[in-house]
Amino acid sequence: MSSATFDLSSTFSMHNLDTAPPTSTTATTEELLEYFETMYTIRRMEIECDTQYKSRNIRGFCHLYDGQEAIATGINDVFTKEDSWITSYRCHAIALIRGGSVRQVLAELYGKHEGYTKGKGGSMHFYNKEHGFFGGQGIVGAQVPVGVGLAFEAKYNKKEGEPMNVALAAYGDGAANQGQIWESANMAALWKLPAIFCCENNNYGMGTSVERHTSNPGGEYYKMGNAIPGIKIDGMNVLAVREGMKFVKDYCANGNGPMYVEMQTYRYHGHSMSDPGTTYRSRDEIAETRSARDPIEFVKKALIENGLKEEGEMKEIEKRIRKEVSKASKEAMKGEIPPMEELYNYVYSEDGSKDKTEQQKFIRMPQYDKSIKA
């Protein structure tokens, strides 16, 4: 099994910690290929979302993850299905890697019944409890208290003599000063919960640079837990994310309490599809980041420069994934519109069953006989 060793000495910064992740790591060809395929699939899926949104096949809000792929990929490599993960509305990638498929994700965005949440959730509300994914949240920062609740559950259900499962609550730098995050962090610290407060710092929040929207010098979000220890990780390097999160998970799972994690990253698109992303930052800055720090190019170069794969082989993989995403998009587009019953399915259950659903008289249904006919 071929492998290569990588220097990680400049990828971490620590706060209130006496130990740190390793300064180097080894990755096999198989591991690097898996990371590359996962990240490239996310990238192509998000590019397809961009295209279909502009074609008006996707409506409403739509927040893309391209540029940040190494974070989701690295975390998922460390987590099991028993570890909980909750995030913000920028959640397509997490939905994909936590038990989903490109077709399911796109069908959801197209509003089809075959979608991830039967076409009722849309871009911001994916959910897969079976795979430990507790959804994307549309309210800024609202997912963090729920994440702490998941950490409480993990501690409550701890098995004797075994490490706890962990719960990760991800949020952006624009949410980092939310009061509900501070209050949740305080409880997590007092109760020593296995909670990971993960700030995906893409530097601009909704459109304001970190220099202007936080009083914390340099936007060092990994230090914002005060007494709670923290770590800053290069979120553009999937190997740094992997090793950093192994360290974080081990710390939190073994009864040491919560940890703050700052992933230094960069989104290529604007905050959402309604934001061109170039009014508060220059095109040159975006292009330079793509050129020098792109997370997918990092893995591609790692494979080629270490003699693990040929450039032609990597191009063939890219070509295959582009075809797969295009095919999944076309298949998703052919899906069915959700039936009218989905308006009240999973809203009310008389006997508490998750399967049995009741239509209530107070739910007003469309009156087609009184509708204006075209």
pTM listed for this prediction: 0.92
Query: 218-238 b/e with 16+ CB inside 10 Å = b?
Result: ebbbbbbbeebbbbbbbbbbb
Where do the domains of the chain lie? 3-333
Q: Is pLDDT above 80 for 329?
A: yes
Percent over 90 (pLDDT), the chain: 84
Task: Kindly state the average pLDDT of the residues 222-232.
Answer: 95
Q: Tell me the pLDDT band of 359, cut-offs 50, 70 and 90.
A: low
| Distance between CA atoms of residues 148 and 126, nearest Å | 19
Q: Which residues contact 170 (CB under 8 A, 6 or more apart)?
A: 85, 86, 87, 88, 94, 143, 198, 199, 200
Lowest mean pLDDT among 73-87, 130-144, 215-229: 215-229
Give the CATH number of domain 3-333; options: 1.10.10.60, 3.40.50.620, 3.40.50.970, 3.40.630.30: 3.40.50.970
Give residue 356's pLDDT.
64
